[in-house]
Structure 1
């Protein structure tokens, strides 16, 4: 992590941004103490909303049949045996 004072941050902002884009973090200090952290921007994750798959997923007849349940159970039994 690179530490810079506020004057250097103001005069070298473009270079500091280039360092951040390369993966480095930059702490901006006042009187020798960090007061801000310059890090890459991360876009907020979209929260799933209720009903967002409506009309996009089709549950066919028999999707919850005993045969399907047995197949799923067998898959997990195999996974349990591996552990």
Structure 2
């Protein structure tokens, strides 16, 4: 295991990366105290997404993008008590300074 101070590590970064790629672990020190460890990252295998995994759980009707369906979705998700985020906010009966 090799140890470099921060200045040496900056100067020898390419060398350190080559050492790590060869399987060596390198310690970085500041004022003689090890503050970091540089080691090879194991390549993570990308798991393939199984095509059609949710085929039986999702259904899309032919009118999925019609005005009527969009309105039904909007009506079912809208809440009457939602406040307008652009309206002035009152605190103790006074309008908040950011809205003046």
Give the TM-score normalised by structure 1. 0.52
> Can you give the 5+ residue segments of structure 2 that lack an aligned partner in the other structure?
54-100
Mapping for residues 52-71 of structure 1, pairs under 5 Å: none
- Aligned-CA RMSD value: 2.4
Distance 1:27 1:42 in 2: 18
Distance 1:40 1:3 in 2: 16
How many residue pairs end up in the alignment?
53
Using the TM superposition, give the Cα deviation of residue 41 of structure 1 relative to its aligned residue in structure 2, in angstroms: 1.2
> Can you give the 5+ residue segments of structure 1 that lack an aligned partner in the other structure?
56-83
Give the TM-score normalised by structure 2. 0.44
Mapping for residues 3-82 of structure 1, pairs under 5 Å: 3-44=3-44
Distance 1:38 1:26 in 2: 5
Larger radius of gyration: 2
Q: Which has the higher contact order (CA 8 A, sep 6+)?
A: 1
Residue by residue over 1:11-62, the C-alpha shift from the partner in whole angstroms, topping out at 9 and shown as x without a partner, is 1000000011111110000000100001001234668xxxx6xx9xxxxxxx
Q: Which consecutive aligned stretches of 4+ in structure 1 deviate over 2 angstroms post-superposition? A: 43-47
